[in-house]
Amino acid sequence: MKSSLAGLVGIVALAAIVAGHIFGLGYIVGVAVALSAVFGYGWPHYLGIPAKKTLGAVIALTGAAAALTSGLTADANFLVWTPIFIAFGFGAVLVVQLIRGTGQAHRLESTLGAGAGVLIAGFAGGWVASYRFLGAPGMTLIIAVSAAVALCIGMLPWPDRALAPLAIVLSALAGPLAALLVSDVRILPAAVLGALVAAVIASFRRLRTLTGPMRGVTGALAAAAAPVLSLGALVYFIEKLLLA
């Protein structure tokens, strides 16, 4: 999957998340679970690590559990269960690495890669928590617009050393513009937020560059979903910091 297609997949995922403010809590929980499942299944293929099905199931279940509990918990801290599921997921990764019988020479790399997948999948619940925290789409739209700008910049066939600064600058400009239209967030925080989002997107694009050609469609879909999922926790905690 080329960078252009990966960017389009990311933009579609962002659009599906933003649509949650139209279709309700059940819809956005379903989107987060679906993205976690796609990401969990494809992440081991993307990294090329052994025990793909087992580790993929662990990653997907971690994200699905985090999203479901974020939507169902009665606690005001909607991500209260997420660290627990991430810890269980990482523990399950360690168990799988201990009992599997292939690829022993790369056990450490596989553990770190799968553990990173568990962490990213767990962040999916942040999108659900963000929806429940405010119920208004303002901050979600600021994040989505900034991320979409960074993804569009990432589609260009230019080197990362040129794309990363460009994405950060343009997303830092897009954030305040979105804030002026859809929320009461001040310009400076919106600009900082846009720059942070672009930095996350640029980091994942750099990871795709370093890993070389995509390993199949499932791995490519996981690579496209990873930055979108990772932004979930960011938007929730930024909301609590700025708007609580």
Residue 206 is which amino acid? R
Find, among 61, 72, 65, the residue nearest to 37 by Cα. 61
This prediction's pTM: 0.90
- Distance, CA of 11 to CA of 203 (rounded, Å): 17
Size (the chain), residues: 244
243 pLDDT higher than 80: no
75 pLDDT higher than 80: no
pLDDT in tens, 102-150: 556 678 888 999 999 999 999 999 999 988 887 667 778 888 999 999 9
Distances in Å between the alpha carbon of 173 and those of 54, 56, 178, 237?
A: 42, 37, 9, 21
DSSP 42-60: HHHHHHT-S-HHHHHHHHH
Phi-psi region of 51 (alpha: psi -120 to 50; beta: other; left: phi over 0): left
Q: Other C-beta atoms within 10 Å of 10: how many?
A: 26
Region 2-20: mean pLDDT is 86
Listed by start position, the domains of the chain span 3-243
Region 42-60: mean pLDDT is 91
Identify the residue with better confidence: 108 or 88.
88
